[in-house]
Structure formats: C-alpha cells, structure tokens
Amino acid sequence: MNAAHWDLEPHSAEEGVPPGLGVVEGDAIPYQAWAAARKKENYANRAALDPINKCFLPGVPRIMYVPFPFQIAQTPKYVVLTHEYQHATRIVYTDGSPHAPPNDFWMGDSRGRWEGDTLVVDVTHFNDRTWFDMAGNFHSDALHVVERFTPLEAGHVMQYEATIEDPKVFTRPWKISMPIYRRAERNLQLLDYDCVDFFWLRMRPKR
C-alpha cells in the first residue's frame, strides 16, 4: 500500500491526500528546466487538469497503482491485466511479436519477455495525454516504460519496478519501485468502477 497515486515523490499529507515516503529512486523526478516549470503549473491546477478527473485512461505505470484491484490471466503467449478501474485492459504479448505500428495509445503497447522469474515488459506508443499521478507529473509522446514484475515471498508479494524514459521531458531515465500485494480474500472478483458512467451522471445535460 502506498501513496504513489497521489504523488510519486515524497510528500506530506494534505487534506484528502495521504503522506508518502516516495516511490522514485533518488526521490526526485529529473525534469528538464522547462518541464519542471510545467509540472509546477500542473500541480497548481491539478483539479482541473488531471486527465483522470475526466475519466480518461490513466496510462502506464499509473494504472498499476490506482487504488483499485486488478487481475492477471497468464497463458504462454499472453499476460493479460484487467483492471477494475474503468475496465482498463492491458494485453502483454509474450509471444515474441514486435510492437504494434506507431500510434497514440493511452495505455501504450506492451511486449513482454521472461528473464528468469522476472517478466520484463517494454511499453511504447504512448500519447502525451496522461499524468503519472495526481500531483501533475507528466510526460510527452516519446515516453518509453520498461516494467519488471518479480514474484517474491511465496507468491504473496510481487516487486514492481518501472523505468521511465522520455528525452523530451526528463534529463535521464528514472525509476519507481513498489511491492504489489496479492489479495487473499476467497472468491475475490473484480467489480466495476465505470468512471465514464459517473461522468455522464454528473454532467448537467444541455439537451
């Protein structure tokens, strides 16, 4: 359990925001100067600007630490992650296939391979429309993410790491890491947080 979704970097509590030790290796996200200024603007206007507040897909790695459960179905050729949040779906191809042709995907295009017990996933073809958290940390469409999923501790915990690279925004690649805990409830199933449904219910109709 961590406060990454509110802010990847170490931060104090605010009203409605739990404090966090930070999940960024080295604590600080290495923004280029222009990008650091833009991040400050994002933060100042985060209620209006955070794309998740319009029910847009959270992107990767954000979908991995939104506070909603997800489920993995694994076959030899596919590792499929399905998320309770906005029924987001990630198909990780472990069949050796190349990336899809370039496109503006919200959740990127994921191709995985095994290195020992670690699933390494290469994610590309992002658009520039998602944030990494609620604090305004952002990226461009040059974003490239490499994730590492490593089972620990008799299958109850998984170590999750994501290396984030974006030469248009950051001065160097940087990394987040956190444990992900297996849910122990019997007969657990994902329910449905259909953000878009609530979005329409909230909107005052013009017609």
Partner 1 sequence: MRTRILVSTIGAALLLGSGSLLAHHAFSAEFDANRPVNLRGTVTKTEWINPHSWIHVDVKDASGKVSSWAIECGAPNSLLRRGLNKMSIPAGTQLVIEGYQAKDGSTTANARDITLPDGQKFFVGSSGTGAPYEKDKDNK
Partner 2 sequence: MTQRFFGTLAAVTALVITTGQIPAAGQSRGGNGEGATPSFEPPRTPWGDPDLQGHWLPGGGGMMETPAGEPWKGPAFRPTDAAFSNFFPPEPGSAAPARPRTPPRPMVVDPPDGRIPMQPWAMEKRTEIMAKQDRVEHLDPRVRCLQSGLPRANLPVGYNTYQFLQIPGYVVLLYEWNHMYRYIPLDGRPHVSPNIRLPMGDSRGRWEGNTLVVDVTNFTDRTWAVGHGAPPEGAPASAISTGHGVFHTEALHVVERFTLIDANTVRYEATIEDPKVFTQPWKIQFNAFTRAPADHQLFEYACHEGNGRNVKLMTGFDIDK
Q: Which residues bind partner 1 (CB under 8 A)?
A: 100-104, 125, 127
203 binds, among partner 2, partner 1, none (CB under 5 to 8 A by kind): partner 2
Q: Is 170 left (phi over 0), alpha (psi -120 to 50) or beta?
A: beta
Q: Which long-range contacts (CB under 8 A, 24 or more apart) does 19-28 make?
A: 23/65, 23/176, 23/177, 23/178, 24/174, 24/175, 24/176, 25/174, 25/175, 25/176, 25/177, 26/174
CB nearer partner 1, residue 122 or residue 141: 141
* Intra-chain end-to-end CA distance of the chain, in Å: 43
Candidate ranges 24-32, 137-145, 164-172, 197-205; the one touching partner 2 (CB under 8 A): 197-205
28 binds, among partner 2, partner 1, none (CB under 5 to 8 A by kind): none
Binding partner 2 (rule: CB under 8 A), the pick from 38, 68, 146, 159 is 68
Q: State yes or no: residue 167 binds partner 2 (CB under 8 A).
A: no
Q: State yes or no: residue 172 binds partner 2 (CB under 8 A).
A: no
Smallest distance, partner 1 to C-beta of residue 199, A = 14
Binding partner 2 (rule: CB under 8 A), the pick from 60, 64, 123, 169 is 64
Cα–Cα distances in Å, from 139 out to 5, 53, 173? 16, 17, 12
Q: Which of residues 37-56 bind partner 2 (CB under 8 A)?
A: 46-47, 50, 52-56
146 binds, among partner 2, partner 1, none (CB under 5 to 8 A by kind): none
Q: 92: closest CA among 74, 66, 71? A: 74
Distance CA 101, CA 177 (A): 29
